[in-house]
A and B are shown apart, each in its own frame.
Chain A
Amino acid sequence: MNDMTPFTTTLKDWETDQEVRWCPGCGDYAILKAVQRTLPEIGANPAKTVFVSGIGCSSRFPYYVESYGFHTIHGRAPAFVTGIKLANPELDVWMVTGDGDGMSIGGNHTMHIIRRNVNVQILLFNNEIYGLTKGQYSPTSREGTNSPTSPMGSVDRPALPCAFALGSGARFIARAYDVSKNLPAVLKAAHAHKGAAFVEIFQNCIVYNKDRFDDFVAKGVADQNQLWLADGEPMLFGSEKSGGVKGIALDMETLSLKVVDVVDGDWQAAGVIVHNVKNRAIAHMLVEMPFGPFPMALGVIFDDPRPSYEETLLAQDEQARAGKSANLAALLAKGQTWTVSGTAADPV
């Protein structure tokens, strides 16, 4: 995010005159609305906001936001963002990518923009499938995914975007899903974080991977299968209605997480962990929790800022420039020179 004077806009101001071309019912619509709802709330200025994307369904996103937008090439959005932010750090940049774009063809760049900590909000729409190319399995597809390129089921182990991001040195990671009412809050937190803020958004591809995330987003199971994290709050999920309140505790013997029952609301007695967004070790455990025995960890998982790349690099450039003038004539005549006057040369 950037420290900028709040700007007054409404959701309407962030809509373009372009026809949105995602499939009817696509989760991208919900994410677009959540972003367009968030932008006025954070006081964003359309003229100073840039949406940059790669290639894929998600990467059409910039065309639908009334700001500056750059739809680039497959997987490389992070490199464009880095150039933009180094050229003008005042711009508020959002990067939109997908599981194929950001984790497969552009995995390298995703790693480096995170490692460098460029100040940008990275929204990775994870639908666990290649949508735009008609349904091939993706690097986040679960093992056994049937697709045109894996008719007997995929055998690749899926990548975990948040674990990848943390492993790359991320200072902010969060998770949400397309239709979640909490998505704007997560986006706001990402924007408030100075540095690379990585947000994985589970997104329903209703054509090629319909309802893939129903095991934790469907009505009726959400309550017991979603762990919404909040800084300073105990890690609780479930309710009496859904079979009991449960919590996440640390098994001290194996140094791993475990699910515990919370009786009569006494989470302290059950040893439930209080979420601390600066605890990197727990963050690693949360993003790797196997779904099934554990709920899906959502919300802001880790948030511990460090100076951004462009801030540090440009400060170094300033330091290099301090007290020096850009005298081109002097630069050209630098080093060992000699003067020719007629025929003889004299060392200078």
Chain B
Amino acid sequence: MATALVDGPDALTGGKDAPEAVVVRFAGDSGDGMQLTGGQFTLSTALAGNDLATFPDFPAEIRAPQGTLFGVSAFQINFGSTDIETAGDQPDVLVAMNPAALKTNVPALKAGGLIIADSGEFNKRNLEKAKYDANPLEDGSLEKWQLLAFDISALTLEAVKPFGLGNKEALRCKNMWTLGLALWMFDRDRQPLIDWLNAKFKKNPVLAEANVAALNAGHAYGETAELSGPLKQYHIAPVESEPGLYRTVTGAESISLGLVAGAQLAGLHMFFGGYPITPASSILHNLAKLKEFGVTTFQAEDEIAAICSAIGASYAGQLGVTSSSGPGIALKGEAMGLAIMTELPLVIVNSQRGGPSTGLPTKTEQSDLYQAVYGRNGDAPIPVIAARSAADCFDCAIEACRIAVQYMTPVILLTDGYIANAAEPWKVPDPATYTPFPVTFLEEANGPDGKVLPFARDEKGARPWIKPGTPGLMHRIGGIEKNPGTGNIDYSPASHQIMTDARKAKVDGVAKSIPAQDVTLGDETGKLAVVGWGSTFGPIHQAVRRVRRKGLSVSHIHVRHVWPMPENLGDLLKGFDKVLVPEMNTGQFKTVLRDQYLVDAKPLNKTSGQPFTIAEIEAAIEAALV
């Protein structure tokens, strides 16, 4: 089970003092520091030993106008003493720092859930900005929920008064006050937060003290205030996890670490060419700090230069990597074709966001699957891998590196805005348990009479990797069709046929090197297979778990290797009467499955920029089985 929603009585209101899981959403103005509050709450939750999943949801504007509905930034966390795989469908607790945050987030709150609102911000101006005719804290419109409204602004100002901060600076401590209250509610240790604040404001001890004072004040408020009713303290027991060392990790961190590990396993220096774009930039940020791991990062003038420089580095013998999001990936298309044509290794990471065009820069979607699998001119096959979670990004990045160097091919690794930003606990892997895949460069002529054959192929269909600088192996490569062996320009009909077939056979052959498709949950045959890929893993898994408890014959299959797909997938799907494919797009993987296996896959689509809820998938499963 995952969320409090699952098991009947509402976690915080049903009289249970020790719920198994709780969903809390912090919402405020984009300047209120909600992402930071959420991040720190996540850390304290992890330290308390709970399993968790988070969903940061913020506007594209850096400083959206204050108090507006579109300027609301929210951070949701689901944590509990059981396995947590989604950020939770409906929050049990909503912390609303202003009227706009309340208005945009309260519809999601579970009936009977708890609202904690800063009444100090519910003034005429802010109510107008949030388009409220009357103050919702007073007009009874929130009676479906439990409401706790108090003047957090005033309480914060009071708490930080001794430090002589200006009004604006003092109010910035509101998020720490709120965090203090939340820490009290869930019986959390404040010390790691205090340490973190002292480190963060090392250069400004007054700010550090003020923030700590606000944190303590919020905590004390919960402890001492004679609040009857909803505000109670809860203790969420630690989850029973596999013993080991844990940390929290976001998808962007995990990808960066996986790429570093992948390059090490290949025995190569990594070259990362990137260009700033949301939500992919954090990978470039992370790698820029990891130079001691044999990483060179290059901030290029545009997306095209980013991928071209990476291909240049691969040509010169390093592991070229580039990363972007949909619009940037579109720009890289022609260069991907060159990497396919010249058969050079390359890893392309796409942190998908809502599209087309600029679309939803900070919201999630899985709508670049066609782009990854089909989106280039010519017959241009590329292996495509999709990560299912933040932690899974690590293994997927390693796998992408392996395929790239073993098959001399570009590889696309798909993640999305949700995975990139969301944090989850991660059992720190031991790098020694991964099998190395060291690269060998061609050092001597491989053809008759000392000739170089740059496009001779090994048993995998891969050509040799030849570093410029190697004596005696001079040769020319390029994007023009070439002779199957020498690589010299050759437009002849036979040559293009042979080379097109060879490129396709090579990428198809990647399927031989990947594990057979497993069934993540449920039986190998049955009435319904729910087939997913990427970040829909959590909600699909939980929905399938719920319907199986009801006795329904449903299995969850989650595909990592989107192209080429595992060799047994077609047969596996034939063992089910029906196939349902939930995706955050209009049905792209469903189409690929239909095309590849002639299976009557049915779509379940969502393109709101928000992840699926468990309930949505559960309802679709039940409808499919009627």
Contacts and interface: CB of A to CB of B under 8 A. Distances in A.
A-B interface, 5 closest residue pairs, ranked by CB to CB distance from nearest: A83-B312, A71-B478, A345-B49, A79-B308, A83-B309
Nearest to A69: B476
B260 A87 contact: no
Given A328-B264, A336-B192, A87 B271 contact: yes
A312 interface: no
Nearest to A324: B292
B329 interface: no
Interface stretch (B40-48, B137-145, B509-517, B539-547): B40-48
Contacts of B469: 47-48, 68, 88, 90-91
Interface stretch (B208-216, B276-284, B316-324): B316-324
Given A80-B308, A111-B301, 9 more contacts: A63-B489, A84-B468, A91-B316, A108-B302, A325-B292, A329-B432, A338-B47, A340-B241, A345-B49
Contacts of B244: 339-340
Interface string A259-284: 00000000000000000000000000
Nearest to A335: B247
B111 to A, nearest CB: 33
Interface of A: 16, 18, 46-48, 50, 52, 55, 62-63, 66-73, 76, 78-84, 86-88, 90-91, 108-109, 111-112, 313-314, 317, 320-321, 324-326, 328-329, 331-345, 347-348
A109 B468 contact: no
A111 B318 CA distance: 25
A339 B298 contact: no
Contacts of A109: 301, 304-305
A86 B242 contact: no
B335 A76 contact: yes
B296 A16 contact: no
Contact of B474 (A67, A71, A337, A340): A67
Interface string B455-494: 0000000000001111111111111100000001100000
A159 B295 CA distance: 38
B154 interface: no
A88 B476 contact: no
Contacts of A80: 308-309, 311-312, 315
A341 B243 CA distance: 5
A163 to B, nearest CB: 20
Nearest to B471: A47
A71 B273 contact: no
Contacts of A347: 47, 192
B308 A333 contact: no
Contacts of A342: 240, 243
Interface stretch (B1-9, B95-103, B173-181, B423-431): B423-431
A321 B342 CA distance: 33
B225 interface: no
B293 A328 contact: yes
B559 to A, nearest CB: 26
A320 B292 contact: yes
A108 to B, nearest CB: 6
Contacts of B471: 47
A269 to B, nearest CB: 49
Contacts of A46: 474
B426 to A, nearest CB: 9
Chain B contact patch, size range: 35 or more
B257 interface: yes
B300 interface: yes
A226 to B, nearest CB: 35
Interface string B402-429: 0000000000000000000000000011
B560 to A, nearest CB: 21
A335 B413 CA distance: 26
B338 interface: yes
A121 to B, nearest CB: 16
B294 interface: yes
Given A79-B309, A339-B245, A326 B264 contact: yes
Contacts of B474: 46-47, 66-69
14 contacts: A48-B469, A62-B476, A62-B478, A70-B312, A79-B308, A86-B309, A86-B313, A90-B469, A108-B305, A336-B192, A338-B247, A339-B246, A340-B243, A345-B49
A324 B309 CA distance: 27
Contacts of A76: 304-305, 308, 335
B238 A344 contact: yes
* Interface-centre pick from A73, A81, A317, A324 (highest chain B CB count, 10 A): A73
Nearest to B189: A347
B290 A331 contact: yes
B489 A72 contact: no
**Which of B273, B302, B308 is the most central at the interface, judged by chain A CB atoms within 10 Å of its CB?**
B308
B476 A63 contact: yes
Which of A79, A83, A314 gathers most chain B CB within 10 Å?
A83
B261 interface: yes
B347 interface: no
Interface string B321-350: 000000000000011011000100000000
B269 interface: yes
A324 B246 CA distance: 24
B195 to A, nearest CB: 9
Contacts of A321: 291-292
B473 A47 contact: yes
B478 A337 contact: no
A253 to B, nearest CB: 41
Contacts of B488: 18, 63
Given A82-B305, A333-B428, A344-B49, A72 B338 contact: yes
Interface in B210-263: 237-238, 240-248, 257, 260-261
B109 interface: no
A50 B468 contact: yes
B11 interface: no
Contacts of B468: 47-48, 50, 68, 84, 88, 91
Contacts of A317: 291, 296
B310 interface: yes
Contacts of A73: 308, 334-335, 337-338, 479
